[in-house]
Chains A and B, each alone.
Chain A
Amino acid sequence: MKILIVDDFSTMRRIIKNLLKELGFSNVSEADDGNTALPMLKSGGFDFLITDWNMPGMQGIDLLRNVRADPGIATLPVLLVTAEAKKDQIVEAAQAGVNGYIVKPFNAATLKEKIDKIFERIQAS
């Protein structure tokens, strides 16, 4: 599974990358904000997107909207990384079409759980 991690803080990308590696996902690419991520996603091949919410340039939520608006990648599963599970924010994300969210900091087990849940839902449909 090819995964794209989007975060402006490279330490954070590395942390998430390490966690993914722990879970056995090694095909991971990085982008530092929505503006860099979008062309990468559009050029294809990604199966999963993990994006931070809060970024300069294009925010995670806008990236999500752009993904959903592009027919080529509209169904790409998106996991949003947030600092807290504020209801209004999560609702906004859900309406924008997010597949799941995860609250920082998290460990590999939580990440796995979130990813599994997303794919369960996709398979069920």
Chain B
Amino acid sequence: MPFVQDEELLQDFLVEAGELLEQLSEQLVELEHDAHDSELLNAIFRAFHTIKGGAGFLEIKTLVDVCHRAEDVFDALRQGRRDVDAHLMDVILRAYDNLLEQMNEIRGGNEPEPVDEALISQLEQLLSDESPSASAEQPEIASETVDVVSETETVEETVAIVEEESIEVPAAEPVVAAGGNEISDDEFEALLNDLHGGGIPGAVKVERSNEAETVQLDAPAEDSSVSWSLISEPEAVEPKVVASAPVKVREARPAVTESASAAQAAAAKKTRDAGNAAASEATVRVDTRRLDDIMNLVGELVLVRNRLQTLRTGSTDEAIGHAVDNLNLVTSDLQASVMKTRMQPVKKIFGRFPKVVRDLSRSLGKEVRLEMLGEETDLDKNLVEALADPLVHLVRNALDHGIEMPDAREKKGKPRCGVLRLSAQQEGDHILLVIEDDGGGMDADRLKNLAVERGLLDRDTADRLSDHDAYQLIFAAGFSTKEQISDISGRGVGMDVVKTKINQLNGRLDVVSELGVGTKILISLPLTLAIMPTLMVVVSGQVFALPLGSIVETTNLTQIITVDGQEVIMVRQHPLPIIRLQHWLTGKRCDPPHGGHVVIVNLGTLRVGLVVDHMLGQEEVVIKPLGAGLHGLKGVAGATITGNGKVSLILDIPGLVQKYAVNM
């Protein structure tokens, strides 16, 4: 990077410009639906403009180059000199992608690659083929029109100076000299001299005559490049005293009303924004690290509360009891409030999908309509970030494998345009995300055959699988149903990565499908990662915490049967493989004491029973990372301090099962 002396400044820029780009992706897709929304065009123009401005200071030339061209294109669009068409959108979206790439490069500490000349020239091309007819129809910008001097009837600046009764001129309409539309410093100085004489802008001039007919005008100065012709219509202006701001008087024939209507729009907007102003002042940008710190402290507080609650059961002092109850209440409220500060709407992830779907359906030749529900559902910030990639993958997958080609759909009697529905909703302490398509659905038998072919299952096991279980096979590593690997979703990093990721987040993944009707993928996630509801269990006298998220039910330990060397128990006539936690812990295989319990956990496609000695009950725990010495230990997610003040380990059930399965 040439000179970014201030690393912090660069990071700020990346964050802020990144947000703008995120909005841009939505705005650009919106633009395809409403190409004439002038507010939208303005917003897009401004985004490119702003990024360019920042990049200019940071001397990131490649960013400036692309933004500058894109900005020019949108300037032409918002002035009506050009129309939005498919080609333009393609080029602009390519430019957008380029910006994203550049930002990523910079974020990674690299200098972005020089911009593809082809992209630059395509962008420039967009401007050069502005249709001449289009520009002729449009009203010229006022300052470019030279001879509009007559018929001055209205004063344009009514908005800015409504309360001012008088309008004092210098009312000068510039006649821009031919050639050179940039102003030089000297010209500007001359211009100021012209407008204010020796005075300063905004200063009150009281050289007034009382006759209404006379208007004091500054004499036009003869300047080599800028000449001024004054327009004024004394009858139109009611000069009294005081020149507040220098005001231009402009004719208001329909041809030039652009500015007038713009002013009205601005006025309307102003009143609207006045309401927003208060709201925007009410927000503060906070470093997420601070929020993490606060969350951490709240976590500690929860632990202290748990400890106090435990102590209190041994105390008979009523006053202490009340105080602890109070503390309990306040802590819960505080915990909820702090969690709220970390919440972000799912829209943050969903926002990128209109563009993803658009790009993908174009390149696949499919017609897809995207529906999004519950975008305002809040989710912990960390979850939002961690979910982004898996969701993109699932959406790509649904488009690639799920929704059929338009012709094929028609043959089946479906509408040509497929529907992809993304939805998010809160269900108790969980968030449910659903990705649903109305495509071909999955064929359970084909999935089973493939699993056997790929050596993931033997024929017997495969045949015994229920359809629902067969669908879950798509999450198995090394499973891709499309024979031909496309560059869209079949890139090896498959559904198994998605599953792993969701499991890491203590989430659950489920697939429901119906052949010919469509597929539904359900993701259920905890609201937050920092504080976790767990089931406390005792194994060999030690207390462990099992994340409640993956627990399905608990049952008493009944007869253990051994099938093919694997211990199982029968639960409602179905065999359930079990893992003896004691064996995992001590390496000794001994029978659990009478009245042992089984905790049944769900691991995506697999159900396993964990044998424990006792169950203590539910407790909310705060996850503390393990020390460096224990870091990376399979089967242990972290540690926590329990209500009785002891440290206990939080088990990582997927990791544990994996580890145990190897040993078996």
Q: Do A and B bind each other?
A: yes
- A residues touching B (Cβ–Cβ < 8 Å)? 8-12, 14-15, 18, 32, 35-36, 39, 52, 54-59, 62, 65-69, 71, 74-78, 83-88, 90-92, 94-101, 104-105, 121-122, 124-125
Cβ of A69 and Cβ of B201 under 8 Å apart? no
List 19 other contacts, CB 8 Å, given A54-B49, A57-B277, A96-B160. A10-B12, A10-B285, A11-B12, A15-B54, A56-B46, A65-B157, A65-B245, A68-B244, A69-B160, A75-B203, A78-B201, A85-B182, A87-B176, A91-B191, A95-B246, A97-B202, A99-B200, A104-B57, A121-B192
Minimum C-beta distance from B29 to chain A (A): 20
Cβ of B276 and Cβ of A57 under 8 Å apart? yes
Point out the residues of chain B lying under 8 angstroms from A35, CB to CB.
270, 273-274, 276-277, 280
Interface residue B553 (Cβ < 8 Å from any Cβ of A): no
CB-nearest residue of chain A to B68 = A83
User: What is the bound-complex CA distance between A34 and B231, given in angstroms?
Assistant: 29
Minimum C-beta distance from B507 to chain A (A): 34
- B residues touching A (Cβ–Cβ < 8 Å)? 6, 9, 12-13, 16-17, 43, 46, 49-50, 52-54, 56-57, 59, 141, 143-144, 157, 159-161, 163-164, 170, 172, 174, 176, 180-184, 187-188, 191-192, 195, 198-204, 226, 244-248, 266, 269-270, 273-274, 276-277, 280-281, 285
Cβ of A54 and Cβ of B203 under 8 Å apart? no
User: What is the bound-complex CA distance between A54 and B51, given in angstroms?
Assistant: 12
Minimum C-beta distance from A9 to chain B (A): 5
What are some 25 contacts across the A-B interface (CB < 8 A)? A11-B16, A14-B12, A15-B57, A18-B6, A18-B9, A35-B274, A36-B280, A57-B273, A57-B276, A62-B159, A65-B157, A68-B201, A69-B163, A76-B202, A77-B200, A87-B226, A88-B141, A88-B174, A88-B176, A90-B183, A90-B188, A95-B174, A97-B202, A105-B53, A122-B200
Cβ of B181 and Cβ of A86 under 8 Å apart? yes
User: What is the bound-complex CA distance between A59 and B49, given in angstroms?
Assistant: 14
CB-nearest residue of chain B to A95 = B248
Cβ of B244 and Cβ of A94 under 8 Å apart? no
Point out the residues of chain B lying under 8 angstroms from A121, CB to CB.
192, 200
Point out the residues of chain A lying under 8 angstroms from B248, CB to CB.
92, 95
Q: Which of B54, B59, B199, B270 has the most CB of A within 10 A?
A: B54
Minimum C-beta distance from A78 to chain B (A): 8
Cβ of A91 and Cβ of B143 under 8 Å apart? yes
Minimum C-beta distance from B271 to chain A (A): 10
User: What is the bound-complex CA distance between A108 and B622, given in angstroms?
Assistant: 50
Cβ of A75 and Cβ of B266 under 8 Å apart? no
User: What is the bound-complex CA distance between A71 and B46, given in angstroms?
Assistant: 31
Contact of B160 among A65, A88, A98 (CB under 8 A): A65
Cβ of B9 and Cβ of A71 under 8 Å apart? no
User: What is the bound-complex CA distance between A78 and B192, given in angstroms?
Assistant: 13
Cβ of A94 and Cβ of B202 under 8 Å apart? no
Minimum C-beta distance from B283 to chain A (A): 10
Q: Which of A11, A55, A69, A75 has the most CB of B within 10 A?
A: A11
Cβ of A14 and Cβ of B9 under 8 Å apart? yes
Point out the residues of chain B lying under 8 angstroms from A67, CB to CB.
202
Cβ of A125 and Cβ of B182 under 8 Å apart? no
Point out the residues of chain A lying under 8 angstroms from B269, CB to CB.
57
Minimum C-beta distance from A75 to chain B (A): 4
Point out the residues of chain A lying under 8 angstroms from B187, CB to CB.
87
Contact of A65 among B50, B161, B191, B226 (CB under 8 A): B161
Cβ of A11 and Cβ of B9 under 8 Å apart? yes
Minimum C-beta distance from B353 to chain A (A): 25
Point out the residues of chain B lying under 8 angstroms from A90, CB to CB.
183, 188, 191
User: What is the bound-complex CA distance between A88 and B57, given in angstroms?
Assistant: 24
Cβ of B203 and Cβ of A9 under 8 Å apart? no
User: What is the bound-complex CA distance between A94 and B221, given in angstroms?
Assistant: 15
Point out the residues of chain A lying under 8 angstroms from B202, CB to CB.
67-68, 74-76, 97
Point out the residues of chain B lying under 8 angstroms from A78, CB to CB.
201
Minimum C-beta distance from A98 to chain B (A): 7
Point out the residues of chain A lying under 8 angstroms from B52, CB to CB.
83
Point out the residues of chain A lying under 8 angstroms from B277, CB to CB.
35-36, 39, 57
User: What is the bound-complex CA distance between A103 and B184, given in angstroms?
Assistant: 11
Point out the residues of chain A lying under 8 angstroms from B198, CB to CB.
124-125
With A54-B46, A92-B143, A95-B246 given, is the CB distance from A105 to B12 under 8 Å? no
With A75-B200, A91-B143 given, is the CB distance from A97 to B245 under 8 Å? yes
Cβ of A87 and Cβ of B161 under 8 Å apart? no
User: What is the bound-complex CA distance between A12 and B297, given in angstroms?
Assistant: 34
User: What is the bound-complex CA distance between A121 and B199, given in angstroms?
Assistant: 8
Contact of B188 among A8, A36, A94 (CB under 8 A): A94
Point out the residues of chain A lying under 8 angstroms from B192, CB to CB.
94, 99, 121
Point out the residues of chain B lying under 8 angstroms from A68, CB to CB.
201-202, 244-246
CB-nearest residue of chain B to A118 = B200
Point out the residues of chain A lying under 8 angstroms from B170, CB to CB.
95
User: What is the bound-complex CA distance between A100 and B188, given in angstroms?
Assistant: 8
Point out the residues of chain B lying under 8 angstroms from A77, CB to CB.
200
User: What is the bound-complex CA distance between A71 and B266, given in angstroms?
Assistant: 22
Cβ of B191 and Cβ of A94 under 8 Å apart? yes
Point out the residues of chain B lying under 8 angstroms from A10, CB to CB.
12, 16, 285
Cβ of B270 and Cβ of A58 under 8 Å apart? yes
Cβ of B200 and Cβ of A62 under 8 Å apart? no
With A57-B276, A58-B273 given, is the CB distance from A11 to B143 under 8 Å? no
User: What is the bound-complex CA distance between A90 and B143, given in angstroms?
Assistant: 11
Cβ of A105 and Cβ of B183 under 8 Å apart? no
Point out the residues of chain A lying under 8 angstroms from B12, CB to CB.
10-11, 14
Point out the residues of chain B lying under 8 angstroms from A92, CB to CB.
143, 248
Contact of A125 among B160, B203, B280 (CB under 8 A): B203
Cβ of B245 and Cβ of A85 under 8 Å apart? no
